[in-house]
């Protein structure tokens, strides 16, 4: 028996949906969306509901035609032939080349396993040029570093994977070596250019069981650059630090709201000892903290970043565990364009001045909300 529809989610207008086909298989409809000019970050599909799109400022239905259980089952079969067994254990991720598109799909059940659903995110088929992302030159210059640790920090779904892929491909374009990535799952595929690229996937059906074990393996694989897709636990944090001491450049991501909170979280995972603080201070080369903001028109995203380039002063603050002092020094260094450091508020001020983002969206993205008032001050 059909349930009553209480949804207040709007539907794309005819002008917005263009020539999107309302018929055809679910795979055909998804492919049409992926190749369309409709702006969105994710496709969200629930059994017995229309296909939904997450756009910068709204959630919208593509049509009013619900997706059936059979259609979702057929799509899951394309993504993972063994999906019925996998989904009974828990939700699962798969990265897939779907004809000309590269996607990551998270498949799940809900309402007591009575309904199926999935969320689809698309990725570039190749890394985007680093210069096209909107990062400042000092941040792009992290691709020139040959050793030590660089942390990429931000909330989930803030473009960290895209930034990392572009950084790695810039290295790939400019110097020879062995780049090893440990990802869950492998998202953007990096072609071989000047470097050999080994992209290893974490998971039961992947190349390695965990980020920690992948990092442990990496040192024996003659790496020049290592990406640890996410530092989730103490073991992985400790191995990332050990790898960065051993010679290669290590890039790693952390979920944190600001630069100082990311460094604090890293040190907490390392054990919060004085010795670990000294090691982190000596191996850390820089931090990128980033956020994606919707455009004023709501049809695109703009990248805003905060960048800390290590100096002896930053190292001393990390060694002392003075995280509040990191923010003060970061703001001071922002005033010097040659420092290689800039605050998120400084970036947000530029985006507001260029009328690319709204003040409210910028306020939500600020890593230093207490001083955000200075951003919008007429002086």
Beta carbons within 8 Å of 336's beta carbon, 6+ residues apart: none
The two structure tokens encoding residue 172: 């790939």
Neighbours of 183 (CB within 10 A): 24
Whether domain 130-376 has CATH 3.40.1710.10: no
CB 61 within 8 A of CB 52: yes
CATH number of 14-123, picked from 2.40.50.140, 3.40.50.410, 3.30.450.90, 3.40.50.1580: 3.30.450.90
SS3 sequence, 235-247? HHHHHHHHHHHHC
Which ranges in the chain are annotated with CATH 3.30.450.90? 14-123
- Mapped onto helix, strand or coil, the DSSP state of residue 300 is coil
Give kind and range of the element (H or E) at residue 165: helix 160-174
Residue 104, judged by CB atoms within 10 A of its CB (0-12, 13-18, 19+), counts as buried
Query: Tens-digit pLDDT profile for the chain (379 aa)?
Result: 455 565 688 888 877 776 666 678 999 999 999 988 888 999 999 999 999 999 999 999 998 899 999 999 999 999 999 999 999 999 999 998 888 789 999 999 999 999 999 999 988 889 999 999 999 999 999 999 999 999 999 998 899 999 999 999 999 999 999 999 999 999 999 999 999 999 999 988 889 999 999 999 998 999 999 999 999 999 999 999 999 999 999 999 999 999 999 999 999 999 999 999 999 999 999 999 999 999 999 889 999 999 999 999 999 999 999 999 999 999 999 999 999 999 999 999 999 999 999 999 999 999 999 999 887 776 5
CA-to-CA distance for 344 and 357, rounded, in angstroms? 14
Helix/strand number for the chain, H first, E second: 15, 13
For residue 326, CA distances in Å to 107, 172, 183, 223 come to 40, 32, 30, 31
Which ranges in the chain are annotated with CATH 3.40.50.300? 130-376
The two structure tokens encoding residue 363: 């306020």
DSSP annotation string for 229-272: S---SHHHHHHHHHHHHHSSEEEEEEE-SSHHHHHHHHHHHHTS
CA-to-CA distance for 46 and 24, rounded, in angstroms? 17
Residue 283, judged by CB atoms within 10 A of its CB (0-12, 13-18, 19+), counts as buried
Q: How, if at all, do strands 225-228 and 177-183 pair?
A: parallel
Helices (H), 206-358: 211-218, 234-246, 259-270, 274-283, 312-320, 323-334, 344-353
For residue 244, CA distances in Å to 144, 168, 195, 239, 350 come to 15, 16, 19, 9, 34
Angle of the 312-320 helix axis to the 274-283 helix axis, nearest 10: 160
The length of the chain in residues reads 379
SS3 sequence, 91-135? CEEEEEEECCEEEEEEEEEECCCCEEEEEEEEECCCCCCHHHCCC
SS3 sequence, 12-40? CCHHHHCCCCCCCCHHHHHHHHHCCCCCC
Closest CA to 169 of 198, 151, 193: 193
Return the pLDDT at 2.
54
The two structure tokens encoding residue 298: 């709501």
CA-to-CA distance for 196 and 216, rounded, in angstroms? 19
Alpha-carbon 87 to chain mean position: 24
Neighbours of 214 (CB within 10 A): 27
pTM over 0.85: yes
């Amino acid at each position: 028996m059909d349930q009553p529809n209480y949804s207040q989610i709007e539907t794309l207008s005819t002008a917005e949906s263009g020539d999107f086909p309302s018929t055809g298989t679910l795979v055909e409809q998804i492919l049409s969306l992926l190749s369309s000019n409709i702006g969105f970050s994710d496709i969200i599909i629930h059994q017995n509901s229309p296909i939904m799109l997450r756009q910068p400022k709204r959630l919208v239905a593509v049509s009013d035609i619900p997706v059936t259980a059979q259609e979702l089952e057929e799509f899951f079969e394309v993504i993972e032939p063994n999906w019925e067994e996998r989904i009974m254990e828990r939700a699962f991720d798969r990265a897939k080349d779907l004809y000309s598109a590269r996607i990551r799909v998270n498949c799940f059940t809900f309402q007591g396993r009575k309904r199926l659903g999935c969320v689809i995110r698309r990725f570039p088929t190749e890394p985007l040029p680093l210069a096209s992302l909107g990062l400042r030159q000092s941040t792009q210059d992290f691709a020139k570093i040959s050793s030590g640790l660089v942390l990429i920090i931000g909330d989930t779904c803030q473009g960290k994977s895209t930034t990392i892929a572009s950084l790695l491909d810039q290295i790939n374009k400019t110097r020879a070596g062995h780049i090893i990535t440990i990802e869950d799952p492998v998202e953007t595929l990096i072609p071989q250019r000047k470097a050999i690229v080994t992209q290893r996937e974490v998971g039961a059906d992947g190349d390695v069981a965990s980020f920690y074990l992948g990092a442990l393996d990496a040192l024996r694989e003659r790496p020049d650059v290592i990406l640890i897709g996410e530092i989730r636990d103490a073991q992985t944090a400790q191995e990332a630090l050990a790898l960065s001491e051993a010679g290669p450049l290590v890039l790693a991501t952390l979920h944190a709201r600001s630069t100082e909170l990311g460094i604090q979280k890293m040190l907490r995972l390392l054990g919060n000892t004085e010795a670990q603080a000294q090691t982190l201070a000596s191996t850390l080369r820089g931090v990128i903290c980033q956020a994606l903001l919707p455009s004023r028109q709501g049809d695109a995203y703009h990248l805003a970043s905060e960048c800390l380039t290590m100096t002896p002063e930053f190292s001393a603050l990390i060694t002392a565990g003075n995280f509040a002092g990191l923010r003060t020094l970061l703001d001071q260094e922002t005033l010097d364009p040659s420092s290689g450091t800039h605050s998120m508020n400084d970036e947000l001020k530029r985006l507001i001045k260029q009328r690319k983002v709204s003040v409210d969206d910028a306020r939500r993205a600020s890593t230093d909300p207490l001083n955000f008032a200075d951003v919008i001050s007429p002086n």
